[in-house]
Amino acid sequence: MNVFRLTISDARRALDAKEYSALDLTNAYLDSIVKKDGAIHAYLEVWKNEAREEAKAADVLIARGESKPLTGIPLAVKDLILIEGRIASAGSKILEKYRASYDATAIKKLKAQNAVFLGRTNMDEFALGSSTENSAYGPTKNPHDTSRVPGGTSGGSAAAVSAGMALAALGSDTGGSIRQPSAFCGVVGLKPTYGSVSRFGLIAAASSLDQIGAIGKTVADARSIFECIRGYDEKDSTSLPASTRSDLGDSKGRTFRIGVPRAFLGEGTEPDMLKEFERTLAALGEAGYSIVDIELPSLKYALAVYYIINPAEVSTNLARFDGIRYGLSVSADDIQSVYAKTRESGFGPETRRRILVGTFVLSAGYADAYYRKARAVRELIRNDFAKAFGSVDVIATPISPVPAFKIGEKSSDPLAMYAADIFTVPVNLAGVPAISIPSGAVERDGKKLPVGFQLIAQHGGDETLFSIGEDVEKAGPIPTRHNPTV
Ligand code: GLN
């Protein structure tokens, strides 16, 4: 069993054929965590004993021939998805000791298949950031080069899968937090259609943008997790009924069209990153896809709109952390001081920045100029996508204009950090699904760093991402995902 190369599909076959047990498989991943996580710091906590018990329970089902697709599959869980009785800190000091009192719906569905939970993974505090450097518990390192960031905010989950410390993982994506770390670490990351996976039990960052999704080594692995966790949930008022799904329909004899918003790609994208993107596109062209230029004129406003809407919603959602209801409470003489002192010592600098910006853009004097304007432009972005999908099956862009950057390189310059989100945030504003697939590599300081290719589908078109995504995997010039240096 090679924990680096193994996929969920391989493991499923081997478990059902009794080549090894779910306990053997879990132990192999626990050993790998012991060996490697000292250098990576993907995990905030490893649930060794619980994971072994879950694996044994999975073995009983496998022995009875009753296994489901994820029975006995060892997964990592981002530190903001609730599992009853376990700590979920959202990478924050303010929730350091907070224990969940119920299971997130996604977790409940995974438990129903007897998946195994290895531990909770590091992240930027409250899912705010792009590098995992905003964690209150220290940064995670990129397994391809430990002087570099793994991306963020689901950096712990992506690094764990990349370094063979979990077979797959759950993450969340508000503006790229599953796709960008997956690209930086050379694994596959899926941000599903908004509403297709329940947000019940996901600690909220920006509710109209957040979505739970999957990180795995292959498109097929991301899909099998998505198949398990998707579905209508009455506990989430934004949950979608199954009828909103769409797929490619009858594909026989039809040429699929991939739209490329060329005017949007060049600015700020490093030349070799663009070259890798073009190489994958050309390979898809050779495989029979028709590659067409499209216009998405409002996309140039996406970053500005995102960095108004995100802080607005974050400032509202984080108001509940007041030192009274959850987690940390710093005592003081009066209630106002309890609020102030708790929030001052519990929140890190980026979280405070978002709360300040969010409060400002929502304030009576400025809401018309900022928040309401941003909401109106968000509609234009949504319409741009809807219009584009009238003529193409899928849209392709790079995931990031740069490869994994050095730890510390952007942490003192928030605007430089925000700018790296240019290709991922429009997807969350529009609520459409997208996937990041490793496709090629660039060299920095003598090390090969993975590059991610983004496919975006229309609302409800997650299935389209899987079918075309598998062709991207075949077209990918240099698969880098299986050779991290650590
Ligand atoms: N980098 C973006 C932000 O800081 C996206 C984060 C995310 O998807 N959670 O908001």
Full set of structural domains in the chain with CATH: 1-486 (3.90.1300.10)
Average pLDDT, the chain: 95
Closest ligand 1 atom to residue 310 Cα is: 10
* pLDDT per position as a tens digit, 35-56: 999 999 999 999 999 999 999 9
Residue 480 binned pLDDT confidence (cut-offs 50, 70, 90):
very low
**Mean pLDDT comparison of 262-271, 352-361, 408-417, highest-scoring range:** 352-361
Least confident of 13-27, 249-263, 318-332: 249-263
- How far is ligand 1, taken at its centre, from the CA of residue 147, in Å? 22
* Mean pLDDT value of segment 271-299: 96
Q: Which pair of tokens denotes residue 281?
A: 């596109």
Closest ligand 1 atom to residue 350 Cα is: 4
CA–CA separation, 342 vs 423, rounded Å?
36
Model pLDDT, residue 82: 98
Ligand 1 within 6 A of CB of 400: no
171 closest CA partner among 180, 101, 68: 180
Model pLDDT, residue 267: 77
Residue 484 binned pLDDT confidence (cut-offs 50, 70, 90):
low
* Mean pLDDT value of segment 443-470: 96
- How far is ligand 1, taken at its centre, from the CA of residue 124, in Å? 9
Given 78, 109, 141, 448, the catalytic residue:
78
126 closest CA partner among 222, 207, 229: 207
Least confident of 31-45, 168-182, 183-197, 244-258: 244-258
Higher-scoring residue by pLDDT: 249, 80: 80
Q: How many CB atoms lie within 10 A of CB 352?
A: 14
| Percent over 90 (pLDDT), the chain | 92
* Mean pLDDT value of segment 270-278: 96
Rounded to whole angstroms, what are the CA distances from 96 to 50, 90, 125, 185, 314?
20, 8, 11, 27, 19
Write out the H or E segment, with its range, that includes residue 142. none
Ligand 1 within 6 A of CB of 417: no
Which residue, judged by its Cα, is nearest atom 5 of ligand 1? 175
* Mean pLDDT value of segment 354-359: 98
* Mean pLDDT value of segment 303-318: 98
Ligand 1 within 6 A of CB of 125: no
Model pLDDT, residue 242: 81
**Residue with token string 């694996």:** 55
Q: Residue 478 pLDDT more than 70?
A: no
* pLDDT per position as a tens digit, 154-172: 999 999 999 999 999 999 9
- How far is ligand 1, taken at its centre, from the CA of residue 85, in Å? 27
Model pLDDT, residue 245: 79
**Residue with token string 């495989």:** 287
Rounded to whole angstroms, what are the CA distances from 466 to 18, 94, 226?
29, 38, 11
CA–CA separation, 398 vs 2, rounded Å?
30
Whether 177 is catalytic is yes
Given 177, 196, 298, 411, the catalytic residue:
177
Sheet containing strand 168-172, edge to edge, reads 43-46, 116-121, 74-78, 168-172, 212-216, 188-191, 434-444, 447-456, 394-398, 257-260, 290-293
Ligand 1 within 6 A of CB of 130: yes
Higher-scoring residue by pLDDT: 118, 485: 118
**Ligand 1 mutation target, pool 122, 123, 124, 177, most atoms within 8 A of CB:** 177
Closest ligand 1 atom to residue 418 Cα is: 1
* Mean pLDDT value of segment 98-110: 98
* pLDDT per position as a tens digit, 236-245: 999 998 877 7
Q: Which pair of tokens denotes residue 171?
A: 């993450």
Ligand 1 within 6 A of CB of 134: no
- How far is ligand 1, taken at its centre, from the CA of residue 402, in Å? 16
Ligand 1 within 6 A of CB of 118: no
Q: Residue 252 pLDDT more than 90?
A: no
> At 221, which amino acid appears?
D
Model pLDDT, residue 254: 83
Model pLDDT, residue 51: 98
Alpha helices in 389-433 (DSSP H): 414-419, 425-430
- How far is ligand 1, taken at its centre, from the CA of residue 183, in Å? 14
Residue 266 binned pLDDT confidence (cut-offs 50, 70, 90):
confident
Which residue, judged by its Cα, is nearest atom 2 of ligand 1? 175
Model pLDDT, residue 387: 97
Ligand 1 within 6 A of CB of 91: no
- How far is ligand 1, taken at its centre, from the CA of residue 417, in Å? 10
CA-angle at 183, arms to 355 and 79, nearest 5°: 45
How many residues does the structure list for the chain? 486
**Ligand 1 mutation target, pool 308, 309, 310, most atoms within 8 A of CB:** 310
Ligand 1 within 6 A of CB of 213: no
Q: Residue 477 pLDDT more than 70?
A: no
- How far is ligand 1, taken at its centre, from the CA of residue 176, in Å? 6
Q: Are strands 257-260 and 394-398 parallel, antiparallel or unpaired?
A: parallel
**Ligand 1 mutation target, pool 124, 202, 307, most atoms within 8 A of CB:** 124
- How far is ligand 1, taken at its centre, from the CA of residue 435, in Å? 16
464 closest CA partner among 282, 245, 261: 245
Q: What are phi and psi of 72, to 5 degrees?
A: 80, 10
